[in-house]
Chains A and B, each alone.
Chain A
């Protein structure tokens, strides 16, 4: 099956710093989503981005489908950005998401 690898596994930042999280996948996909899991466990949808670039405030994401990777950019990080960031993909339309193991981000003030 398709493999999803996220890097780095852990990231520690000072408030105000920028960061880039990477997601590599082993096969072509037709869906790619980025999530933020908050301290209560809730998965918050950040981006649906099977290809191209999107921006939402301080967050942006780019997926290069032909090279099988996606990047999540966080600028001017805040303590509320702390948590686990997951990348998840589907290979076929309508099937379930396959998750990476996540990147744990800790932002200190």
Chain B
């Protein structure tokens, strides 16, 4: 079976500090991977998606970047956090062979920038 992990679960960081959030998927090969953000009291917004190693597409210009160094690893980074980066970050995956077009989400990372 497939599982998706995210860490850390919660994070409190000062403004101007760097950020690294990690997402890994087990039990599948060459999945599509996605980063979404949910700001407090709002819906989810796509940040980045990847169809393969080293292939990253950005939906919204922002203070964040993403990388996919391995097939089942997706990393969200920032060099200097802003207060507006606070939110709930969710990683998702799908694999056409396993899930079709249905996406599944990880448990999320709650980031508070102080």
Contact = CB atoms under 8 A, between A and B. Distances in A.
B51 A42 contact: no
A30 B96 CA distance: 14
Contacts of B104: 45
B96 to A, nearest CB: 7
B90 interface: yes
Contacts of A30: 101
Interface residues of B, number: 26
A41 B105 CA distance: 11
20 contacts: A35-B105, A41-B88, A42-B105, A43-B90, A45-B105, A48-B100, A48-B101, A86-B43, A88-B44, A94-B32, A94-B51, A94-B101, A96-B46, A96-B49, A97-B44, A97-B46, A99-B44, A100-B43, A101-B43, A102-B43
